Amino acid sequence: MNSNAFVSEPLTTVATPKTAARTRRARLGRLAAHLAVVCGIVGATPIGAGAVTLVTPLVRAAGGSFIMCTATNGGTSPGQVIITARDAAGADITGFTFCGPELAPGASCWAYITNDTPGSCSFEVRGKIRAAAVLLEVGTARPVVALPATK
C-alpha cells in the first residue's frame, strides 16, 4: 500500500477567462447599482431633505416690463434656494440668475425673465426664505407689483 494514498493535494481554482469575465461583470453591475442609487438621491433632491417648493402665480409682462424672481433669507442662519422661471406651459425660461449655493442671513438673490414674457417663479428653498415675483418697468426698473410665492 502506498503511504501517500491518504495525502490529498490542495485544491486550486484556476481562473479561466470566462469566470474572470463573470466576476468583472458582477462587480461592475454592483457598482452601477450603487451609482444609480446615489445619483437618484442627489438628482431627486438638489437642495436636500427638508426642501420646500414655493411658487407664484403667472405674471403677464408686456409693454416694456419684465419679471424678477427674488428670494430673501429672513432667518438667522444660511439658507439655500434654487430659482426657476416658467412660462404658461411650464417650460423653463430662466434668463439668468444671481443665486449662489447658499444665501446668507438677510441676503437676497434673483433671476430674471426676459422682456415682455409672461411667466411664474418657482423656488426650491431650505431655511426661512421669503420669495416673490416682481414686475418691473424696463426703463426705470421700478417695481410695478410684487406677488408673493406660496406653498
Q: Which amino acid is at 65?
A: S
Determine the distance from the C-alpha atom of residue 112 to the mean position of all C-alpha atoms in its chain, rounded to a whole number: 19
Residue 53 — pLDDT band, cuts 50, 70, 90? very high
Q: What is the pLDDT of residue 32?
A: 41
Residue 71 — pLDDT band, cuts 50, 70, 90? very high
Least confident span in 2-6, 11-15, 40-44, 143-147: 40-44
Least confident span in 30-34, 62-66, 105-109: 30-34
Beta-carbon count within 10 A of 91 CB: 9
Distance CA 110, CA 118 (A): 17
- The pTM of the full predicted model, rounded to 2 decimals, is 0.67
- Using an 8 Å Cβ cutoff, are 61 and 137 in contact? no
Maximum average pLDDT range among 32-46, 72-86, 94-108: 72-86
Q: What is the pLDDT of residue 43?
A: 35
Q: What is the pLDDT of residue 41?
A: 34
